[in-house]
Chain A
């Protein structure tokens, strides 16, 4: 690793040992002996791991996939320059070291040597540059555009060194490049990526069955010695929670990813099964879009944040499988989270704020989608609570695709799903800076917040960055267009045959270290 790489690193661990163990749920705690055994036993090679997602991978193009199963598939076939460890610290993957230059405006990555793509050629700087250029190509409009940071230009400096020049300073590049879309593909196969994915990942694609799943086999020339342990992986798609459960219990699958909270309860009691429920940064935001009346007035936005009663809502929506949030985008345990007092329901205050804003007789539609649970439950709860202060809300439950085309960015009040994000660049800057794509209202949170966010992502010193983040989040907590009542746990379950499996903290699972006991 380069000498400079500590500068993007928060020194505080995100998940303490105790917190982690508690988050793993009852089944885990009940089997400490088995766990100790798993850690000491020698990994056994071979076998096919069968993993179920509620939905099949949508695309095998790593720069296009929207589904979590597709992103997991992409992460098995492809690799990025970096990874993050369980504490969110950047660690080497295809890059072995990195350093910032010119005040974090330029980043130089040294590439790992001797890494082979599935089709046999060696990975070089040419592939990295070509991949970044493809991803940023506006005419292709790929989902991954922007995934390599605010890139101005990528340059090869010799076969194993890449210089990435940025449009603006970004101190978190190493962690940023660990995101689920920043995957490197060979320059000679980029055009064929949508149908023939060739990467450097531990597994290669054997067969893709659209809408059904995918079958993967071991990449024989994988650069990491002794990995992967598995001979292959099969990704399946059972959507019905009861059928998922029966598949795990009857040994038709080994791991159930992305479980619903109703499904994990019975699995905790099932024999030979471990159920996991871990705190992650995924949430549903209730949008009070800042450029739409009545939310153009920050007081109205603030008033709405006091309407919900968060604890019962967490029980109702997720049966408690989550943690209360405070209208900022960082989950509990995050090193940057400032000590802002927890916001609770305060209807008199909400009413007062509305009165101060000169708003009365509000009548609004709140859009949600049954295809994105539990958004309708949140909408219903908002309606019931808002009625108590004379705000009349009509719940409109519509198909998700309608929501995407006609509601998001266009209506004043709706509920929107947000995945976990690795860096402050993604979780604060891209979401709250008024010129950034995920600030749907395109409005500055409070005067001066944009400048604050710009300084924040340029700042290379951790403590200073933390102070800036605290200032920004105080404003976000008060006036942003997102009401974030809770973070949703990531829930999954595995059979006891599966060893060394850790639930993913950022959505996509990595099965490199997983093995199957006899």
Chain B
């Protein structure tokens, strides 16, 4: 099993290399020249040339790519063009903020989805099941920003009990203002819940229908014990595999939710660096996100393997 994991880690390295190439390619053909973005529309052609020279944008692409990768490997993430500040501290602080948000989302969404999914499966066809399933479909069918806006309108304006934005002070931990996290987390959890609970429900129904669960019931074991001890463990597998996949979805969702709630995370940073044509920041951020995604998937695989001995071979 450890050999398999090692192989996956090596593969992750290769994939990141490819990702870096792709990112560099994408980012460096962005329309909207970087120098123009820095100087604004009133700049003259002569001023544009001076900035391009200063930033080394007149060097060949290959040279720039190698320089960038080399610097990244040394831990030098470059200097943000928009803010004139080193990228690394900004990126790391925001990565931390996003990680907290993502971790909280998963910490709430996974157990909740399991509970809802199991409840729906156990009381299959009941009013509860149908109501929750209907809710899941609706929550899944609306874009996050719409759910987010509706929540802000409802809970920050009409019935003002929660902040509609998450202002994180300098050096402050996002957890210092837990109330500001409620709405962003809710938006992402609703979406997760919609999908994960349905997967749990489906696999739980399958497991409850299986022979060994019937056997356990016939043995006269209490229903709750059967569900928790026998069924749930097996029903967990598809959900965990799905959580790995969903990690990427959460990262994508962060882009929208962080923008909506002015939350200082990497998603917001990415949108800002796109609109400022801040190439060094964008490159570094995309690479870090891809790495985080790769690691997240790897972890999900490891957990799957632990849960399911058959996959270890």
Contacts and interface: CB of A to CB of B under 8 A. Distances in A.
A79 interface: no
B40 A404 contact: yes
A61 B276 CA distance: 17
Contact of B153 (A239, A242, A371): A242
A395 interface: no
B163 A416 contact: no
B179 to A, nearest CB: 10
B186 interface: no
A210 B261 contact: no
Interface string A389-407: 0000000000111111110
B40 A240 contact: no
B36 A404 contact: yes
A238 B167 contact: yes
A498 B208 CA distance: 64
Interface in A223-266: 234, 236-240, 242-247, 249-250, 252-253
A245 B39 contact: no
Interface string B73-103: 0000000101111000010000000000000
Contacts of A61: 84
B39 A210 contact: no
Interface string B152-186: 11001100100111011111000000000000000
B124 interface: no
Nearest to B269: A211
Contact of B262 (A208, A209, A237, A371): A237
Contacts of B209: none
B165 to A, nearest CB: 4
Nearest to A194: B84
Contacts of A209: 90, 170, 264
A438 B42 contact: yes
Interface stretch (B44-52, B216-224, B234-242): B44-52
Contacts of B149: 240, 242
A238 B85 CA distance: 21
A409 B33 CA distance: 14
A474 to B, nearest CB: 26
Contacts of B156: 242-243, 246, 250
B262 A141 contact: no
B37 A401 contact: yes
Contacts of B42: 437-438
Given A240-B152, A406-B32, A246 B160 contact: yes
A59 interface: yes
B196 interface: no
Given A212-B168, A247-B167, A406 B31 contact: yes
Contact of B165 (A66, A139, A252): A252
Nearest to B37: A401
A374 B276 CA distance: 20
A368 to B, nearest CB: 13
Nearest to B272: A211
A371 B275 CA distance: 9
B152 A403 contact: no
Nearest to A213: B167
Given A210-B80, A243-B152, A404-B41, A238 B165 contact: yes
B275 A210 contact: no
A405 B52 CA distance: 13
Interface-centre pick from A138, A141, A209 (highest chain B CB count, 10 A): A141
Nearest to A210: B83
B277 interface: yes
Nearest to B94: A211
A507 to B, nearest CB: 14
A346 interface: no
Contact of A399 (B32, B40, B165): B32
Given A141-B51, A237-B262, A246-B157, A404 B32 contact: yes
Interface in A407-436: 408-409, 416
Interface in A202-217: 206-213, 215
Given A250-B156, A402-B32, A240 B84 contact: no
A210 B94 CA distance: 11
Contacts of B260: 240, 243
B259 interface: yes
A402 B31 CA distance: 6
Nearest to B155: A246
A239 B36 contact: no
Contacts of B32: 399, 401-406
Interface string B258-302: 011110100011001001110000000000000000000000000
B54 interface: yes
B41 A403 contact: yes
Contacts of A438: 42
Nearest to B50: A141
Nearest to B277: A401
A245 B156 CA distance: 9
Contacts of B80: 210
Contacts of A138: 46, 50
Contact of A246 (B39, B43, B163, B170): B163
A343 interface: no
Contacts of B261: 240, 243
13 contacts: A59-B83, A61-B84, A66-B40, A141-B39, A141-B47, A143-B40, A242-B152, A243-B152, A243-B262, A247-B164, A400-B275, A404-B40, A406-B31
Interface of B: 30-33, 36-37, 39-44, 46-47, 50-51, 54, 80, 82-85, 90, 149, 152-153, 156-157, 160, 163-165, 167-171, 259-262, 264, 268-269, 272, 275-277
Given A59-B83, A215-B170, A416-B41, 8 more contacts: A139-B50, A195-B85, A211-B269, A236-B167, A238-B262, A250-B160, A404-B36, A405-B32
9 tightest Cβ-Cβ pairs between the two chains A and B: A401-B32, A246-B156, A210-B83, A246-B164, A243-B164, A141-B50, A408-B41, A405-B36, A243-B165
